[in-house]
A and B are shown apart, each in its own frame.
Chain A
Amino acid sequence: GAVVSQHPSRVICKSGTSVKIECRSLDFQATTMFWYRQFPKQSLMLMATSNEGSKATYEQGVEKDKFLINHASLTLSTLTVTSAHPEDSSFYICSARVYPLAGGNTIYFGEGSWLTVV
């Protein structure tokens, strides 16, 4: 089945630094990937939609200059949290949309990345 890999699974960084999170589709090509953020005991919140070869589409309230998304290939999307602050500490998850031969579509998630900014 479809597999989405996310790295790193955990990262601790100092306030003011930048951190990059990678999301890879391992056995399929993903023209569209999604980035979510989840605070403790809250639901997943879509941050942006990443389209291969074009600019990401950001949800309202998400700063595109702070959360840089690059989708340079059909199997890799990256999220860079720039000038991280403690309030950026969260669980970040990516997902990729798969179009099964049977029709419709579904999404598969990466394992998530726990970011702690100290």
Chain B
Amino acid sequence: RKEVEQDPGPFNVPEGATVAFNCTYSNSASQSFFWYRQDCRKEPKLLMSVYSSGNEDGRFTAQLNRASQYISLLIRDSKLSDSATYLCVVNWSGDMRFGAGTRLTVKP
């Protein structure tokens, strides 16, 4: 089993759609969780951290379920500019492990 697994992509959605990504992790001792966004041929950039109580940042909502060892990212009212690859990142003992990424394309 991979350390961090994400939904296989790609996701192709129309503008305005709501899209959700899931990510599961294997190490129950994982301490912190993040979603990163990576545009084509660029470095990943932090989108948001994921907190136990769940957190929201504008159109983006992140949830964490420690019992089931998964995190999710919900994007509402998708914009063309949301097209990117979304990486799930899990930290345990200082090691940051990445999921393979889920590619999102938002179309007009």
Contact = CB atoms under 8 A, between A and B. Distances in A.
Interface of A: 6, 32, 34, 42-44, 46, 49, 91, 93, 95, 97, 104-112, 114
Contacts, number: 45
22 contacts: A34-B96, A42-B100, A43-B87, A43-B101, A44-B87, A46-B97, A95-B96, A97-B94, A97-B96, A104-B32, A105-B91, A106-B46, A107-B46, A107-B89, A107-B96, A109-B43, A109-B45, A110-B43, A111-B43, A112-B42, A112-B43, A114-B41
B44 interface: yes
Nearest to B2: A43
Nearest to A112: B43
Interface residues of B, number: 20
Contacts of A109: 43-45
Contacts of B45: 109
Contacts of B89: 107
A35 B107 CA distance: 34
B49 A106 contact: yes
Contacts of B32: 104-106
Closest 6 pairs (CB-CB, A-B) = A43-B100, A109-B43, A112-B43, A44-B98, A43-B101, A43-B98
Interface in B85-107: 87, 89, 91, 94-101
Contacts of B99: 43
Name which of B43, B46, B96, B101 has the most chain A CB atoms within 10 A of its CB. Answer: B43
Nearest to A93: B43
Contacts of B97: 46
Nearest to A94: B43
Name which of A44, A95, A107 has the most chain B CB atoms within 10 A of its CB. Answer: A44
